[in-house]
Amino acid sequence: MFVNIIKSYRDVVVVCDKELLGKKFEEGKFQLDIKENFYKGEEVNEEAVIEVMEKMSAEDSTFNIVGKKSINSALKAGIISIEAVRKIKGIPFAMVLF
C-alpha cells in the first residue's frame, strides 16, 4: 500500500492499494481516478498503515482511502465503519473528515 501525507491546514492522509495506482474507474456519473501525483507516497505494510492512520486521526486529519487492503486497514484502525465504504466498479473507497 502507498501512504501519502499532504501537509496543509488540515493534513490529508492518502492511502491506496499499490496495484490501483495510475488507474481510473468510472461508473455512471461517478469517477475514481487514482493519480500518482496524489496517491503515490511511501510504500508500507499493513501494520505501518494502521499506525499512521491511528496517529493521524488523533491530529484532526482528513483521509482518502482506496482499495480493499487499504479499506481493511482503516477498518482495523477504527477510523471508518463498513457503512462509510462506497464502491465504483467494485473498487472500495472512503473519505473521512475528523
> Mind spelling out the 3-state secondary structure of 52-69?
HHHHHHCCCCEEEEECHH
The pLDDT, as a whole number, for residue 12 is: 97
The CATH class of the 2-97 domain is: alpha beta
- Mean pLDDT calculated for residue range 9-31: 96
| Calpha distance 91→70 (Å, rounded) | 11
Q: What is the reported pLDDT for 97?
A: 86
pLDDT surpassing 90 at residue 98: no
